[in-house]
């Protein structure tokens, strides 16, 4: 079947022939599994985080920092960067931690046997249950929190993989998908706006893993940090309750720390490539590392591992 407008011939069976040309096309492939042998590093703390500070990655850095801020010393973690643009997610060690080859992945080494956890929602749930924080124990409040957590897991792919992809990353500006996903993105912002008109936080009166999951995606766009120009394009300022909430979450000290964990781009003072200690936020952001003489900078990096 040939499309009369584009001339595209729809084959009977799809085959993988060449990268599509969009940003990140070189890391996309239609098969799973490892492409190369590479073990993951393991640090000294009970939790090992393998991630990157994308919205999905930020959730977990924020969660660890919130738990530590509450005094849970058992939530100490080492955070290692996974350079998805270089294909680190297809290394054999990472695939063992996450057979889906996507960041974030966590290995919980606090018990007798290491436990792998992948999918950011599952990681937040694991940590919330383990430390008894940011998730009500039972009843309607727990159901509400889990509903919003899973809302995020189901909705954000339309925001990121749909709207964000076609607005920012696709090789051309295609009107049809931009219209389709802008409509859905705005509908989702309206869902949040209505909820936040009645509630201080996403799932009610208390800050929860629903906020931790939703803020990096929706707050990121609201605060103009994701997909340059998307906040204006989607007229996000009209969602006044989302704006109020996005700014309030952004002001939390643990969020300020957690969102820069494994951040490899942007302002150097907001890049913490590896996190092994609370002092790293003060001492080992890239501006600090690069401000040192080269031999001292190497010493700082080596010492961090």
Ligand X SMILES: N[C@@H](CCC(=O)N[C@@H](CS)C(=O)NCC(=O)O)C(=O)O
Question: Judged by CB under 6 A, which of 38, 102, 116, 225 binds ligand X?
Answer: 102
Cis peptide before 104 (omega within 30 of 0): yes
Least distance from ligand X to the Cβ atom of residue 272, Å:
18
Instruction: Tell me the number of residues near ligand X by CB under 6 A.
Output: 11
Query: Closest CB to ligand X among 84 and 230?
Result: 84
Residue 101 makes contact with ligand X by CB under 6 A: yes
State both tokens at 195: 């909820």
Kindly indicate which of the ranges 100-108, 109-117, 172-180, 296-304 contains the residues binding ligand X, using the contact rule CB under 6 A.
Answer: 100-108
Listed in sequence order, the residues at least 6 apart from 2 whose beta carbon sits closer than 8 Å to its beta carbon are 8, 9, 10
Query: Closest CB to ligand X among 171 and 253?
Result: 171
Question: Judged by CB under 6 A, which of 40, 68, 79, 103 binds ligand X?
Answer: 103
State both tokens at 80: 């290692």
User: What x-and-dash track marks residues 271-290 binding ligand X by CB under 6 A?
Assistant: --------------------
Residue 120 makes contact with ligand X by CB under 6 A: yes
Instruction: Note every long-range contact of 18-21, with CB atoms under 8 Å and residues 24 or more positions apart, other chains counting.
Output: 20/171, 21/171
Least distance from ligand X to the Cβ atom of residue 24, Å:
7
CA nearest 108: which of 121, 93, 123, 129? 123
Least distance from ligand X to the Cβ atom of residue 58, Å:
9
Question: What do you get for the CA distance between the two ends of the chain, in Å?
Answer: 56
Question: Judged by CB under 6 A, which of 84, 97, 117, 212 binds ligand X?
Answer: 84
Beta bridge partners of 108: 47, 115
Kindly indicate which of the ranges 33-41, 99-107, 175-183, 234-242 contains the residues binding ligand X, using the contact rule CB under 6 A.
Answer: 99-107
Listed in sequence order, the residues at least 6 apart from 167 whose beta carbon sits closer than 8 Å to its beta carbon are 178, 181, 182, 227, 229, 230, 233
Alpha-carbon distance of 158 to 180, in angstroms, equals: 10
Least distance from ligand X to the Cβ atom of residue 238, Å:
27
Question: Judged by CB under 6 A, which of 43, 47, 48, 54 binds ligand X?
Answer: 54
The full DSSP string for 77-108 is: EEEEE--GGGTGGGBHHHHHH-TT--S-EEEE
- DSSP strand pairing (105-108 vs 115-118): antiparallel
Residue 250 makes contact with ligand X by CB under 6 A: no
Residue 193 makes contact with ligand X by CB under 6 A: no
Least distance from ligand X to the Cβ atom of residue 3, Å:
28
Least distance from ligand X to the Cβ atom of residue 137, Å:
24
Binding site for ligand X (CB under 6 A): 27, 54, 56, 84, 89, 101-104, 119-120
């Amino acid at each position: 079947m040939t499309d009369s407008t584009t001339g595209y011939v729809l084959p009977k069976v799809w085959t993988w022939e060449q990268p599509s040309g969009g940003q990140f096309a070189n890391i996309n492939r239609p098969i799973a599994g490892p492409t190369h042998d590479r073990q993951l590093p393991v640090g000294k703390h009970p939790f090992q985080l393998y991630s990157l500070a994308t919205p999905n990655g930020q959730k977990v850095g924020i969660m660890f920092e919130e738990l530590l801020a509450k005094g849970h010393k058992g939530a100490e973690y080492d955070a290692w960067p996974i350079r998805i643009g270089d294909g680190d997610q297809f290394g054999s060690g990472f695939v063992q931690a996450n057979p889906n080859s996507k960041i974030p992945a966590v290995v919980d080494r606090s018990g007798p046997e290491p436990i792998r956890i992948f999918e950011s929602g599952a990681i937040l749930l694991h940590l919330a249950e383990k430390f008894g924080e940011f998730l009500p124990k039972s009843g309607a409040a727990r159901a509400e929190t889990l509903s919003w957590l899973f809302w995020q897991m189901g909705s954000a792919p339309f925001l990121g993989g749909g709207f964000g992809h076609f607005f920012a990353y696709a090789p051309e500006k295609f009107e049809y998908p931009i219209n389709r996903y802008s409509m859905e993105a705005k509908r989702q912002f309206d869902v949040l706006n209505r909820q936040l008109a009645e509630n201080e936080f996403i799932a009610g009166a208390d800050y929860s893993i629903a906020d931790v999951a939703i803020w990096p995606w929706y707050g990121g766009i609201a605060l103009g940090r994701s997909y340059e120009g998307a906040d204006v394009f989607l007229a996000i300022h009209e969602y006044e309750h989302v704006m109020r909430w996005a700014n309030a979450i952004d002001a939390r000290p643990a969020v300020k720390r957690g969102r820069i964990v494994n951040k490899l781009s942007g302002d150097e003072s907001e890049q913490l490539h590896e996190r092994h200690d609370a002092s790293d936020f003060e001492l080992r952001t890239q501006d600090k590392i690069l401000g040192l003489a080269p031999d001292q900078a190497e010493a700082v990096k080596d010492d961090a591992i």
